[in-house]
Chain A
Amino acid sequence: MTFNTVSFLVQVGVLILALALLHKPLGVYMTGVFTGTTNARPERLFYRLAGVDADADQKWSIYLRSVLVFSAVSILVVFGLQRLQGVLPGNNGLAGVDPWVAMNTAISFVTNTNWQTYVPEATVGIVVQMCLLAVQNFLSAAVGVVVVLALIRGITRTRTDRLGNFWVDLARTSFRLLLPLAVLAAVTMVLGGVVQNFWATDVVNQATGVQQSIPGGPVASQEAIKILGTNGGGYFNANSAHPFENPSVFISLFQVFLLLLIPSALPYTYGRMVGDQRQGYTIAAVMGTLWLASTVLMGWGVAAAQGSATAAAGGLGEGFEQRFGGAPSAIYAAATTLTSTGAVNVAHDSLPPLAGGTAMLNMMLGEVAPGGTGSGLYGMLILAIIAVFIAGLMVGRTPEFLGKRIGPREMKLAAMYILVTPALVLALTGLTVLVPEQVANAPSSGPHKFSEILYAFTSGANNNGSAFGGITTSGPYLSALLGVAMLLGRFLPIVLVLALAGSLAQQRRIPQSSGTVPTHGWLFGSLLLAVTVILTALSYFPALALGPLAEGLIR
């Protein structure tokens, strides 16, 4: 395995260029989708089938209830049909899924985590893949987007308790944004060599006479939304390291581009919707800075391990996809953990310790650079509210965010938001390491054993879905605990964000003046960057020290 610095820099440069070119047209397009007033025919059909009034404007509590009810029903459906797989058609001969695994998978796909405690090839058939998991890839991504949409409306609307209509937002995001983009992406992937069929292919090796059945399936169509919707649940167990999912360096880079695409264009949409493009650019700049720093750190972590003894013994090659090499692996690993994707083209377990630590740190940041579809932006906006609170006090004014006062209620919601994931990760990891049988699920020794457990809960609570693969999580204890981490890690923040949106929408707007802390520009951007890094680093530093740092810093 080699790390080619030039190739690394070129790929990073291509990504920056592509995203810089596309964020504006996509941002403008999304603004149109979110603020449109007419309903297309498939949307009207959907409203009729779902029995919803598309003209209703919902209060935050009703909006939230719609999110929760929709997600709960989704979990039940995905769980139930997995259990019934044995009697359903298109099961590829596979039986009903184990209840713990089915529960974990249902939660995982509905929460946009896409943690895979199962081996897809051996667990789920084509119908479950296409009709349950792929559908959830669309819907869970759309839920993230609609939540941030409600938050933006909370910021822009004044003296109202209405935040829009969840069902309309969901339908438009799915039909007008995710579906067309996914089709484009799938076609590109097929052209790039990603498999798209419905049957396994039988091949006979002419030389040896060995007959093989190569599994196939509608991979490209599922891969497209897996990446685009920052989901990350692979069609195959090897995920994006599998040649059918990710055949070349080009497709690998294309996937990184796709998973950054919507999250990095959303700030532009946000800027347009709040009527001040500088706001969007500042958020995008903070996200971009973090992404670049993390990607470079990851690249350095991988590259630095080249000269080490492990590498000399051939150790570093383990877990890396030889077709890609170091640079694409590092770029992919950084992007997948900075968004809530969790798709992998390298076994994160095999990353050099400091690179693995960077992957964990990326998730611990709260996945805000640029984060999951929607969830990245709302995470960053919450951090911006905390930053503006501190900044407001420092200039002697009751803090305001875009003309809305950050009072005790707003602060309570924002502070609880930033409390949720660290609390889940630390408490559940702490609880697990106290149980020797569960610790045994992580097969490694030394600090890496701890890293595997820490990674699992960090990934679950942050709805990432990538894993230090060594750990076995299909047992009831870890399945359930990770399920709790994923559920609470997804929906508690959503509750808080929507409550915050409701509270902001009720306020009148305070006009901006030179006495208002500007929430754009380099100064606020730097503060936001510092708040993001310090708040997370402070909660996780000891844990990281005992895991990747202890492993990586060798004297």
Chain B
Amino acid sequence: MTPQRADLLVPTLADGNPLGTPGEHKHHTKKPARLTLASVLEALPLAVRKLAPRQMVHSPVMFTVLAGAVLCTAICIVRPTFFGIAVTAWLWLTVLFGTLSEAIAEGRGKAQADSLRASRQGVIAHRRLDDGSTVDVAGTDLTKGDLVVCEAGDTIPSDGEIIEGLASVDESTITGESAPVIRESGGDRSSVTGGTRVLSDRIVIRITAEPGQTFIDRMIRLVEGAVRQRTPNEIALNVLLVSLTIVFVLVTMALAPFAALAGATPSPIVLVALLVCLIPTTIGALVPAIGIAGMDRLVQHNVLATSGRAVETAGDITTLLLDKTGTITYGNRRAVNFLAAEGTGKETLIRIARLSSLADATPEGRSIIDLAAEQGITSPSLEELQRTTDGFDVAEFSATTRMSGLDLDGQMIRKGAGSAVTAFVKEFGGSVPPEIDGYVQAISAQGGTPLLVARIDPAVHDGARARVLGVIHLADVVKPGMRDRFTELRRMGIRTVMITGDNPVTASAIAAEAGVDDYLAEATPEDKLAVIKKEQDAGRLVAMTGDGTNDAPALAAADVGVAMNSGTPAAKEAANMVDLDSDPTKLINIVGIGKQLLITRGSLTTFSVANDVAKYFAIVPALFTATFPGLGLLNIMGLSTPASAILSAVIFNALIIIALVPLALKGVRYRAVSAQQALARNLLIYGLGGLIAPFIGIKIIDLFISLIPGIG
């Protein structure tokens, strides 16, 4: 295995994953460590340490190989033969390759764990006492409930919740994102993570984690693979592998008396060789690496899972609850059209609407300026206005007026919600033209938000003094590519349910535009919980994201709950995953990672079992052709000698482990297709491929081995 080849085999998941977020999303993926010769050599000492029987016993398949290798070594010491020593050496290599694959997988998380550890070393916390004075203590000594003060430049000593103040915080140690984020007391952005750094201002934090249980501690354990519990699917697979191992132990043990009856007693070394070739060593050796690599992929996507089980469950998800805002649509509504009242020129409306938004810094306001520019109206700017007029007053948006705009040259220009603007116009003796109502209803029916534009012009003295000039159509814009993504999900059998606080009319329009399967309008946290329960009662597995404290019950009830890292501690506590990028779209990637984990395991199991056919055709004729020459017909590979045939099968069996390590780490390529298509494809590659590959591999190895005197 050359490092160059390994490099080719390790693209990032996002490249090959159809569920990867479309390119324009802000969330970033850490590149996985590359599999180089150096990383293999680095893993070697750990691999050797893992040969200890106490560790090996967790993998019955590889433990069997170890036992066989020990037995053969003993035989070789008593009665050394060249063939025996060669087989024994390759048996040891088989075991070693198994532990090596695990060590390599663990090694990839190690670098990250080290840097995480470094982030907290020697952190001094300023603990605030009851009397308000502070005392310096080591960060690791803090316990739940302690209050600490952090100022600009301080590293936050442990996880906690801000109870006083606001600060910008650099969270790059855990998220990799260098832009600082704002954290403040109260609300949904109050939690801070130990190991991150305060860049400005001063905050008081109440510690929410016990020593050793902080976010970073959990993350370190996760990336090091120390807390890997077996997942249900892994246990079930292990059951199958163990039962196959037992069958083959019986097969080889029974073969001795069977063959003795025919006077063809095989040597114990040959029987061990046969056993090792038959038991599913390929998958048995790679199962830990596949599991660790799956968690690693999650970490690369900046997601922290509390257990491997959650990752696997993610692959089983059949219903995704997605928050509309930020996931399906851009967070903000945008102006998409101007609808002028009768008697008002469209250009006039655009001009006035633009003026009303000139001092409005909200995203909606900016989008009105942008739309006006698109329609050819780009002036005046605020500065020009200042130069050319006697000055103006800005009417800021407030909760009482629910309007914003300008007072300019005695005119009052306003835009705002329908009822507010209507009341405003009526107050000045104006009226709302009848067609406006029609516009408002039409916009609402499409899921948009109508903003009325009005002008009060004291210079005019008839009924047109206070007038509604028209309507601005603000719409929630569905992110590009979402519809295709939901189609893919549907093909994979995953239902998407959009959750929104909008009214049913708006919700249904956006749901139709985005192509989700269902929606929940005017959703309260209780509604979310009810939807989850309903889906689960129908036998479905539900995933959702959330960040607020009131999301916590739903996050806990969901089969996969992903909390945003910016969310409250309660939400993070309830969820079984935390997304460090706080990107709700990530849920879709997490499902992909879960599926890929299972697919890799299943495909390599199929490959491993299918390999056995060829190995039989190598070893059985080698064992008995001397006694029953007719069995030579089974030597369809035309292997040169019995010794060479057996050795070639053992070598192939060992090398295939190391050859598949990159695949185990990277994961089998995963596409968004129906189960039927995925099964057909993987059966062809790993089932049929698994039948054929060893015939070729063993033959090639035999061609080399047979050149060795004493074997060939």
Contacts and interface: CB of A to CB of B under 8 A. Distances in A.
Contact of B599 (A395, A419, A429, A537): A395
Contacts of B233: 393, 398-399, 407
A450 B680 contact: no
A544 B492 CA distance: 44
Contact of B630 (A393, A415, A550): A550
Contacts of A396: 315, 594-599, 602, 670, 678
Contacts of A399: 233, 236
Contacts of A549: 630-631, 634
A183 interface: no
B599 A411 contact: no
Contacts of B594: 396
Interface string A205-236: 00000000000000000000000000000000
Interface string A422-438: 11001101110110000
Contact of A423 (B247, B260, B679): B247
Given A394-B599, A541-B620, A430 B239 contact: no
A449 interface: yes
B606 interface: yes
B538 interface: yes
Interface centre among B251, B256, B601, B634 (most CB of A within 10 A): B251
B598 A398 contact: yes
A412 interface: yes
A408 B632 contact: no
B628 A550 contact: yes
Interface stretch (A53-61, A473-481, A506-514): A506-514
A84 interface: no
A389 B240 contact: yes
B258 A515 contact: no
B345 interface: no
B674 interface: yes
A450 B605 CA distance: 34
A85 B527 CA distance: 76
A81 B613 CA distance: 49
A257 B484 CA distance: 54
A321 to B, nearest CB: 29
B251 to A, nearest CB: 6
A517 B632 CA distance: 41
A527 B620 contact: no
Interface size class of B (residues with CB under 8 A): 35 or more
A554 interface: yes
Interface string B517-552: 000000000000000000001111000000000000
Contacts of B257: 430-431, 433-434
Interface string B688-701: 00000000000000
A404 to B, nearest CB: 10
A395 B316 CA distance: 10
A550 B262 contact: yes
Contacts of B679: 391, 394-395, 517, 523-524, 527
B368 to A, nearest CB: 43
Interface string B614-652: 001000100110011111111000000000000000000
**Interface SS of B by simple majority:** helix
A518 B606 contact: no
A271 to B, nearest CB: 19
Given A396-B315, A411-B239, A509-B539, A515 B492 contact: yes
A553 B630 contact: yes
Contacts of B687: 527, 530
Contacts of A408: 232, 235-236, 239
A542 B630 contact: no
Interface in B205-246: 232-233, 235-237, 239-240, 242-243, 246
Given A394-B682, A538-B278, A415 B539 contact: no
Contact of A426 (B240, B250, B632): B250
A387 to B, nearest CB: 10
Interface string A338-377: 0000000000000000000000000000000000000000
Interface string A140-163: 000000000000000000000000
Nearest to B241: A415
B454 to A, nearest CB: 51
A292 interface: no
Contacts of B274: 542
A545 B631 contact: yes
A419 B495 CA distance: 39
A13 to B, nearest CB: 32
Contacts of A434: 257
Contacts of A541: 616, 620
A379 to B, nearest CB: 16
B253 A430 contact: yes
A33 interface: no
B258 A406 contact: no
B595 A415 contact: no
Nearest to B596: A396
A546 B262 contact: yes
B675 A553 contact: no
B255 interface: yes
Contact of A433 (B261, B631, B632): B261
A397 B258 contact: no
Given A514-B493, A542-B620, 12 more contacts: A393-B237, A395-B678, A396-B595, A396-B599, A398-B312, A399-B236, A419-B247, A423-B247, A433-B257, A447-B628, A511-B540, A515-B674
Which 6 pairs across A and B sit closest by C-beta, in order of nearness? A515-B493, A393-B602, A396-B595, A513-B493, A553-B630, A430-B254
7 contacts: A394-B682, A395-B602, A426-B251, A433-B260, A510-B540, A513-B495, A543-B258
